């Protein structure tokens, strides 16, 4: 078990909190505003149907991608004691997915691009959530969880920032969205140091005492002799 006085590396909590907020920045502007605008631009007459397919397809891809990303993250963690590489790959894929979404001109291209975006997002989310258990000791988990609660409001603020009049075109909005997410997640990838402060060794297997086994064996044999005499 980790020592109650153990603490994450210096500066780890601010970097982790900033990166976690960056994950919400990576998806909240798109889900709340940019996706609906894109759907309306591609098929205004059937925008509700297309939006429904986008949400359904994205949910199916996300459910599989999150499990796969967590599994890959665990494999990498066992080899390198770090989860930053999957997060970095997810960030690169996120930028490529936004480019694909921006260039999508029909419903099929849009659905494929959204599937790629879901893979990228979950490739970042699954390892980032696991970092909490890896690095934050039990004594600090409540405090860090409280800090992570600001991620949702930050995500909503980023949605307002991305759609500000300063960014009037679709391409500019997607570019700003990726840039904001990268600025928030990048420092964690570059400067955070993972030490495994939150991990615990596997508990030892319970062993039966020889004396305990001998006592029960003796009691059993005595009981058998008593029953034999009573029936004899």
Q: Are 194 and 134 in contact (CB under 8 A)?
A: yes
Q: Are 139 and 4 in contact (CB under 8 A)?
A: yes
**Among residues 110, 24, 118, 8, which one has the least CA distance to residue 63?**
118
How many helices (H) does the chain have, and how many strands (E)?
Answer: 9, 0
Q: How far apart are CA 176 and CA 72, in angstroms?
A: 29
Per-residue pLDDT of the chain in tens (232 residues, 90 and over written 9): 444 446 677 789 999 999 999 999 999 999 999 999 999 999 999 999 999 999 999 999 999 999 999 999 999 999 988 999 999 999 999 999 999 999 999 999 999 999 999 999 999 999 999 999 888 888 888 999 999 999 999 999 999 999 999 999 999 999 999 999 999 999 999 998 887 655 555 455 555 555 545 444 554 555 545 455 555 5
**Among residues 204, 229, 185, which one has the least CA distance to residue 18?**
185
pTM exceeding 0.95: no
Q: Between vectors from CA 40 to CA 34 and to CA 44, what angle results, nearest 5°?
A: 175
Q: Angle between the 35-42 and 47-80 helix axes, to the nearest 10 degrees? A: 130
Q: Residues of 73-95 as b/e, b for ≥16 C-beta within 10 angstroms? A: beebbeeeebbbbbbbbbbebbb
């Amino acid at each position: 078990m980790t020592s109650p006085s153990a603490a994450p590396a210096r500066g780890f909590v601010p970097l982790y909190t900033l990166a976690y907020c960056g994950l919400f920045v990576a998806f909240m502007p798109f889900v709340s505003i940019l996706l609906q605008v894109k759907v309306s631009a591609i098929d205004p007459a059937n925008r509700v149907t297309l939006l429904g397919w986008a949400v359904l397809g994205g949910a199916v891809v996300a459910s599989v991608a999150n499990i796969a990303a967590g599994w890959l993250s665990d494999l990498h963690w066992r080899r390198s004691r770090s989860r930053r590489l999957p997060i970095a790959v997810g960030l690169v894929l996120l930028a490529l997915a936004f480019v694909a979404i921006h260039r999508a001109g029909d419903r099929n291209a849009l659905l494929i691009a959204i599937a790629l975006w879901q893979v990228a997002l979950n490739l970042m989310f699954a390892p980032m959530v696991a970092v909490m258990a890896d690095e934050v000791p039990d004594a600090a988990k409540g405090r860090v969880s409280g800090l992570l609660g600001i991620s949702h409001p930050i995500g909503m603020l980023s949605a307002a920032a991305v759609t500000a009049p300063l960014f009037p075109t679709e391409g500019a909005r997607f570019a700003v969205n990726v840039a904001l997410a990268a600025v928030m997640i990048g420092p964690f990838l570059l400067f955070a140091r993972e030490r495994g402060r939150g991990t615990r060794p596997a508990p030892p297997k319970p062993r039966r005492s020889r004396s305990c086994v001998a006592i029960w064996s003796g009691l059993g044999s005595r009981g058998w002799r008593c029953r034999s005499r009573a029936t004899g």
